[in-house]
Amino acid sequence: MDLKTKHLLDIASLSKEEIEDLLNLAENLKEILYRPIPKVPTLRGKLITHLFYEPSTRTRFSFEKAAKTLSADILTFTGKGTSIEKGETLLDTIKNLEAIGTDLFVIRHPVAGAPHFVAKHSKVPVVNAGDGTHEHPTQALLDLLTVKEKLGTLSDLKIAIIGDIKHSRVAHSDILAFQKMGSTVWVSGPAQLLPDIKEVNYYKLNNKSFKICYKIEEAIEEADVVIALRIQRERHGEALVPSFLEYHEFFGLKSSHLELMKEKAILMHPGPVNWGVELAYEMEKYPFQVILDQVENGVAIRMAILLRLLTGERTYESLD
Partner 1 sequence: MKVLIKKGRIIDPSQNFDFVGDLLIEEGKILGIERNIEIQEKVEIIEAKNLWIVPGLVDIHVHLREPGEEWKEDIETGTKAALYGGVLRLACMPNTKPPNDSPEVTRYILERSSQKAYITVYPIACITKRQEGKEITEFGRLKKAGAIAVSDDGKWVQDSEVMKRALLYAKNFDLPVISHCEDMNLSKGGQINEGYLSAKLGLKGIPACAETIAVIRDLILAKETQKNLHLAHLSTKEVIPFLRWGKEEGIPFTAETCPHYFTLTEKEVENYNTLAKVNPPLRTEEDVEAIKLALKEGLIDIIASDHAPHSPLEKEIEFELASFGMIGLQTLLPLSLNLVREGYLTPLSLLEKLIINPSKVLNIEPPSFKKGALAEVIIVDPEEEYILTEEIIQSKSKNTPFLNKKLKGRVKKVILKEKVFDLSLV
For partner 1, the closer CB: 116 or 269: 116
Nearest to 169 by CA among 114, 216, 222, 219: 114
271 is in an annotated binding site: yes
C-alpha radius of gyration, the chain, whole number: 19
Say whether 248 is catalytic.
no
For partner 1, the closer CB: 236 or 285: 236
CB-CB contact of 137 with 171 (8 Å): no
For partner 1, the closer CB: 172 or 248: 172
Q: How far is the CB of 167 from partner 1 (least distance, A)?
A: 9
CB-CB contact of 50 with 219 (8 Å): no
Considering 136, 148, 158, 269, which one is annotated as catalytic?
136
Q: How far apart are CA 266 and CA 157, in angstroms?
A: 11
Q: How far apart are CA 266 and CA 263, in angstroms?
A: 9
Considering 60, 108, 248, 302, which one is annotated as catalytic?
108
174-179-183-186 Cα dihedral, nearest 10 degrees: 60
Say whether 86 is catalytic.
yes
The footprint of partner 1 (CB under 8 A) covers 12, 82-84, 89-91, 109, 111-114, 116-117, 120, 131-135, 169, 172, 195-196, 198-203, 236
Q: How far is the CB of 200 from partner 1 (least distance, A)?
A: 8
Decide: residue 201, CB within 10 A, 0-12 exposed, 13-18 middle, 19+ buried: exposed
For partner 1, the closer CB: 112 or 273: 112
Considering 7, 30, 46, 59, which one is annotated as catalytic?
59
Binding site, annotated residues for carbamoyl phosphate? 58-59, 108, 136, 139, 271-272
Catalytic center residues: 58-59, 86, 108, 136
